[in-house]
Amino acid sequence: MQATTLILLLGLMAVTAFYLGRGRSLSLVGGHGHGLALHSLPGYYGYYVAIWVALPALGLFLLWVLLEPRIVVALVVNGLPEAYQSLPAGELNLLVNNIQNFAAGDVISVEVDRVLQDAAAQFNDYLANSRQILAVLALGLAGLAGSLAWRRIHPDLRARNRVERVIRWFLIAASSIAIFSTIGIVLSVLFEAIRFFQKVPVTEFMFGLNWSPQTAIRADQVGSSGSFGAVPLFAGTLLITAIAMVVAVPVGLMTAIYLAEYSSTRVRGIAKPLLEILAGIPTVVYGFFAALTVAPWVRRAGEAAGFEVASESALAAGLVMGIMIIPLVSSLSDDAINAVPSAMRDGALGLGSTRSETMTKVILPAALPGIVGGILLAVSRAIGETMIVVMAAGLAANLTANPFAAVTTVTVQIVTLLVGDQEFDSAKTLAAFALGLMLFVVTLFLNIIGLSVVRKYREQYD
């Protein structure tokens, strides 16, 4: 039976159970007129039965679907002849993959022999059987649990409280997903990173000056042992981030000041939404623009001025990234400026200072922590930005501070290492997770500081 059919059937059963439960509760007290004799509203008795029908069966279904592939594979492997079972893990894996693909009717690259054919047939057999068993078990469980719950309906049954408890647990589970995804991120990058550091020492990764992740495919190949010194990547990331900040911070801050203090309501009404559009443009679009429009401009301008400019210069990527971050800086600065109590502004103006003096000598110093917190968040955003640099920055890991040269960044390397085919035990693939760990830790650090500074500051003047 198809999984969707099963789910639909369970849903149907739950709806029926709702009406059965409601009906029973009413008939126990003698019809609609006597609802007050019940502990809860009749509907809650319906929900009570429906929950018992649906939840255990769904739980079984999920568990089954999660475990099924592993168990079926184990069974198939058990059924293989002895000679195959004693193959090394890698080859066995390959064989299992081939069996699965063949069973699904795909074309496979190896010759189809008798063993493979049998195993594939077995595989399909087990799979079909497993689905049959699941359907029977799930529907049986739903019926059993439902009828038990139905029997337990009694005018004194605290149905509402029980239903509400289930709802409460659902809400708690939903809010814990945020925690689980953080834990998931940490564990998934951490484990692979630890495996990487078993192959490559941490010190080489953190302080090595040479990055060329090409590892040899065969052991006897020359010159491609791979070196994983990540300093050039960190330097490249910092260079591009610095360029972006040089654009975004002054422009974003001055925009916020102008819109908060000088512009008329009409100008603000037009300029603010326009800047918000900038924030809504997907980064891949910025990347396209950086690579195809801005990079050639930068190159032409640089060459006219007599510099040697790489076609994938850090400057082009940084400039466009800076533009992308302007709205973030300006809206966070706007918040910080608006949080300064107007008494301070009025006092400064009343003493005869001009608007710009009020701004630079009174409001900005008072708003500084909030602005700095916002800038930290912007830096974190720039460090983690991927598409712009993937499309407009280079791949070569040069250790340079020259904005006209091509540099590469942490995110670019993660993408290049992980896009395409990969095996999970080569240092090359694992290096991406080590870089991901660095990225996560650094941005997390910046975010926590930035967020707490911004929040604390907001509360300070409230």
Partner 1 sequence: MSTDRTTRRKVEAGLPRRRRKEARFKVLGMLATAVGILFLGVFFASLIGKGASAFKQTYLQLEIELSETVLAPDGELDLAFADFEGLVRASLRRELPDVTGRQDRRELYRIVSIGAGYQLRDLVAGNPELLGTTQSLWVPASSNIDMLIKGNIDASLAEALRPVSDKQIAWVEFFREAGRLETRFNSALFSNGDSREPELAGIKGAVMGSLYMLMVTMVLSFPIGVAAAIYLEEFAPRNRWSDLIEVNINNLAAVPSIVFGLLGLAVFINWAALPRSAPLVGGLVLTLLTLPVIIIASRAAIKAVPPSIREAALGLGASQTQVVFHHVLPLAMPGMLTGAIIGMSRALGESAPLLMIGMVAFIVDVPGSLTDPATALPVQIFLWADSPERAFAERTSAAIIVLLGFLLVMNLTAVILRKRMERKW
Determine the length of the chain. Answer: 462
Q: Are strands 211-212 and 227-228 parallel, antiparallel or unpaired?
A: antiparallel
* Of the candidate residues 5, 132, 311, 354, the single one contacting partner 1 (CB under 8 A): 354
d(CA 344, CA 361) in angstroms, rounded, equals 11
Residues 173-192 that bind partner 1 (CB under 8 A): 174-179, 181-182, 184-185, 188-189, 191-192
Give 3-state DSSP helix, strand, coil % of the chain, rounded to 5: 80, 0, 20
Helix (H) or strand (E) holding 22: helix 3-29
When asked if residue 461 is in the footprint of partner 1 (CB under 8 A), the reply is no
Residues 310-339 that bind partner 1 (CB under 8 A): 323, 326-327, 330
Give the number of C-alpha atoms closer than 13 A to the C-alpha of residue 240, restricted to the C-beta side.
Answer: 38
Four-residue CA torsion sign, 230, 235, 236, 237: positive
Q: Which is nearer to partner 1, 141 or 243 (CB)?
A: 243
* Of the candidate residues 8, 128, 284, 395, the single one contacting partner 1 (CB under 8 A): 284
Q: Which is nearer to partner 1, 19 or 262 (CB)?
A: 262
Four-residue CA torsion sign, 420, 423, 424, 426: negative
When asked if residue 215 is in the footprint of partner 1 (CB under 8 A), the reply is no
When asked if residue 194 is in the footprint of partner 1 (CB under 8 A), the reply is no
* Of the candidate residues 359, 397, 406, 407, the single one contacting partner 1 (CB under 8 A): 359
Please count the other Cβ atoms lying within 10 Å of the Cβ belonging to residue 122: 18
When asked if residue 384 is in the footprint of partner 1 (CB under 8 A), the reply is yes
Q: Which is nearer to partner 1, 108 or 115 (CB)?
A: 108
When asked if residue 197 is in the footprint of partner 1 (CB under 8 A), the reply is no
d(CA 152, CA 21) in angstroms, rounded, equals 10
Smallest distance, Å, CB 433 to partner 1? 6
Smallest distance, Å, CB 14 to partner 1? 16
* Of the candidate residues 131, 444, 458, 461, the single one contacting partner 1 (CB under 8 A): 444
Task: Take residue 375 and report the two structure tokens written for it.
Answer: 């800038």
Q: Which is nearer to partner 1, 167 or 216 (CB)?
A: 167
* Of the candidate residues 293, 300, 346, 460, the single one contacting partner 1 (CB under 8 A): 293
3-state secondary structure 249-305: HHHHHHHHHHHHHHCCHHHHHHHHHHHHHHHHCCHHHHHHHHHHHHHHHHHHHHHHC
Helix (H, G, I), strand (E, B) or coil at 365: helix
Q: Which is nearer to partner 1, 141 or 408 (CB)?
A: 408
d(CA 10, CA 14) in angstroms, rounded, equals 6
* Burial (Cβ within 10 Å: 0-12, 13-18, ≥19) of residue 88: exposed
Please count the other Cβ atoms lying within 10 Å of the Cβ belonging to residue 37: 13
Residue matched to tokens 């942490």: 410
Q: Which is nearer to partner 1, 225 or 354 (CB)?
A: 354
Q: 341-374 as b/e, with b when 16 or more CB fall inside 10 Å? A: eeebbeebeeeeeeeeebbeebbbebbebbbbbb
Q: Which is nearer to partner 1, 138 or 438 (CB)?
A: 438
* Of the candidate residues 375, 381, 405, 406, the single one contacting partner 1 (CB under 8 A): 381
When asked if residue 449 is in the footprint of partner 1 (CB under 8 A), the reply is no
* Of the candidate residues 32, 36, 66, 342, the single one contacting partner 1 (CB under 8 A): 66
Smallest distance, Å, CB 319 to partner 1? 10
Q: Which is nearer to partner 1, 91 or 357 (CB)?
A: 357
**306 DSSP 8-state letter:** T
Binding mask 236-275 for partner 1 (x = CB under 8 A): --------------xxxxxx-xxx-xxx-------x--xx
Smallest distance, Å, CB 346 to partner 1? 18
Smallest distance, Å, CB 222 to partner 1? 31
Number of chain positions touching partner 1 (CB under 8 A): 90
Smallest distance, Å, CB 181 to partner 1? 5
